[in-house]
Amino acid sequence: MWVATDTAKNTRDILQEKFCGKPGQEQAYGTGMIPGDLLVRRTVKHGLADAFESVFVRHVSGGISTLQFKSYDQGREAFQGTRQHRIHLDEEPKLEIYTECLLRLLSTVPGEPNGTLALTETPMLGVSDLMITFLPDLSPEPDAVPAAAWDMGEGEEIVVDENV
């Protein structure tokens, strides 16, 4: 599983604290959402004091799951390459990072389900490209003409797109 937000410092101060406990306080390790008895080991992130790169968590199945801490300031390339089952993006990423994360969740094995993405954010950036993907009516295109729809009375609906 990946968790990420805008900067490495915010990843440590917000997400790492929520999952593992207060950074820099060894006695707090294991007081976050992941109970201490399930935390198997951790790796440190170089260049930022008290930050973790990964934590390894004992899974209910008996196996070990990996939680990796990432940040958008690492760029899209940091989100390439590996299949993920879960991704949590906290605060709005650039569209290219969001898209890369969606690709990491796709299954390439027939019958295997795709992963899930949780996006938690306050749209402080206004009407961004990412927000338009969720709310296309917010698009600032000046020539956009809304589609018209009529109910035909028997459950059928005719939609006329005047842009075609």
Q: Tell me how far apart the alpha carbons of residues 59 and 1 are, in angstroms, rounded to a whole number.
A: 12
Q: Tell me how far apart the alpha carbons of residues 78 and 89 are, in angstroms, rounded to a whole number.
A: 14
How would you write the pLDDT of the chain (164 residues) with one tens digit per residue? 999 999 999 999 999 999 999 999 999 999 999 999 999 999 999 999 999 999 999 999 999 999 999 999 999 999 998 999 999 999 999 999 999 999 999 998 999 999 999 999 887 778 888 888 888 887 776 555 444 444 445 555 444 444 44
Q: Tell me how far apart the alpha carbons of residues 101 and 105 are, in angstroms, rounded to a whole number.
A: 7
CB atoms within 10 A of CB 19: 19
pTM reported for the whole predicted model: 0.80
Q: Which two three-digit tokens encode residue 130?
A: 């990412």
Q: Tell me how far apart the alpha carbons of residues 77 and 91 are, in angstroms, rounded to a whole number.
A: 19
CA angle, 82 as apex, 23 and 104 as ends, to 5°? 95
pLDDT at site 142: 57
pLDDT at site 155: 53
17 touches 5 (CB < 8 A): no
Q: Which amino acid is at 159?
A: V
86 touches 115 (CB < 8 A): yes
pLDDT at site 154: 55
Which residue pairs from 101-107 have beta carbons closer than 8 angstroms and sit at least 24 positions apart in sequence?
101/2, 104/2, 104/79, 107/83
